[in-house]
Structures are given as C-alpha cells and as structure tokens.
Amino acid sequence: MDKVKIYYCKEKDTIDIWFGDPNLEVISEEAGEGLILKKDKNGKVIGIEKLYVMKTLGVEKSFPLELIMT
C-alpha cells in the first residue's frame, strides 16, 4: 500500500484522502451526502473526498491542524 496522503483545500472546504496515486483517478462516484469515492480504471477506491468539511463540523473559521500518524 502507498502512503496515505491528505490534502485540505481551504477555498473549496474539501479534504481529499488518498490511499493510492491521485493521478490514476478516472472515476468519481458520490457515496453519500458530501462524500465522493475516487476510483481507478478498475473501479478500486484509491481516495475519498469530503465536501463541506467545516460546515459539517459546525466550525465557522478554519483552524490549525495537527496530523499524528503512528
């Protein structure tokens, strides 16, 4: 498995979590309200996009983020 990559876009208020190479994405499929599955050409999920992150959390301003990986 590749390293997990996490990107937050403040302007769009989205977070992308990639389990594979983002360049291999060919399919985006809505999986629920504000949740998009990113798939490769074989239909394997290689990433997830969450829309409206701050709105979903009920936060009005962005805040510093500390990512802890173990």
How large a percentage of the chain has pLDDT more than 90? Answer: 47
- Residue 50: inside a domain, yes or no? yes
> CA-CA distance, 24 to 33, in Å (whole number)?
24
Residues 6+ apart with CB under 8 A from 13: 51, 52, 53, 54, 55
Q: Which residues of the chain fall below pLDDT 70?
A: 1-2, 61-70
- Predicted model pTM: 0.77
Classify 56 as helix, strand or coil: helix
User: Domain range holding 17?
Assistant: 5-57
> CA-CA distance, 9 to 11, in Å (whole number)?
6
- Residue 16: inside a domain, yes or no? yes
- Residue 64: inside a domain, yes or no? no
- Residue 70: inside a domain, yes or no? no
